Each structure stands twice: as structure tokens, then as C-alpha cells.
Amino acid sequence: MQVISAEEVKKRMDNKETLHLVDVREPYEHEEFNIGGVLIPLKKIQSMEIDELESLKDQEVICYCRSGNRSGQACLLLETAGFSNVKNLAGGMLGWQENFVK
């Protein structure tokens, strides 16, 4: 599993790159604050209910959660499922908010 920094993701977002962001938190967390990723809670990934991601198996997928722990688990599960370019957002939304939300 690769790790990507919040700074790198923010820079790429600012440059209008197309990013495949996956928020593995719970719906209430996603509603409170998110950076535009598709919501697929970790429990769905654990049960392999990931049909909406199948088309991304050979593309970069960036997973994030609150702190980076759940998204790390999600990355490992996706890699096991055959995804070839999965990255974990270092520090999760806590790190993102610390760096970019005033």
C-alpha cells in the first residue's frame, strides 16, 4: 500500500486533476466534512460490496477516513481484490483539516 500526503492531494485537486477519492468513513462523518470522495464505508469494502469501484481496478484510487487507520485497512482489502494502484491519504481528514481548514 502506498501513502499519499494531504498536500499532494490538495495540489492535484487545485490543478483540477481527476482523482478517484473514496471516503471509507460512516455516513454521519461524511456529512460533517468531506473532500468530495464517494462514500463507501469500510464495512461495505470488508464485505466486498464494491461494484461501484470495479471500473477503477487499474486506476489510482485514494482512500481516506478520519485518521488513516480505516482507509489503510480499505487499501489492503482493495489490493487483495485486485486493485493495482491504491493509496492511503496520510493523516486522514484530521490531517486535512489541520493543514487546510482555518
Cell of 70: 480505516
pLDDT at site 1: 86
Indicate the number of domains in the chain. Answer: 1
65 belongs to the catalytic site: yes
Question: Pick the catalytic residue: 6, 65, 77, 90?
Answer: 65
Q: Which residue segment(s) compose the domain that 93 sits in?
A: 2-100
CATH number reported for the structural domain that contains residue 27 in this entry:
3.40.250.10
pLDDT at site 67: 97
Whole-model pTM: value is 0.96
Question: How far is it, in rounded angstroms, from Cα 68 to Cα 72?
Answer: 6
Average pLDDT, 10 consecutive residues per value, the chain (102 residues): 96 97 98 96 95 95 98 97 97 95 80
Question: How far is it, in rounded angstroms, from Cα 22 to Cα 97?
Answer: 17
Q: Do the Cβ atoms of 46 and 87 come closer than 8 Å?
A: no
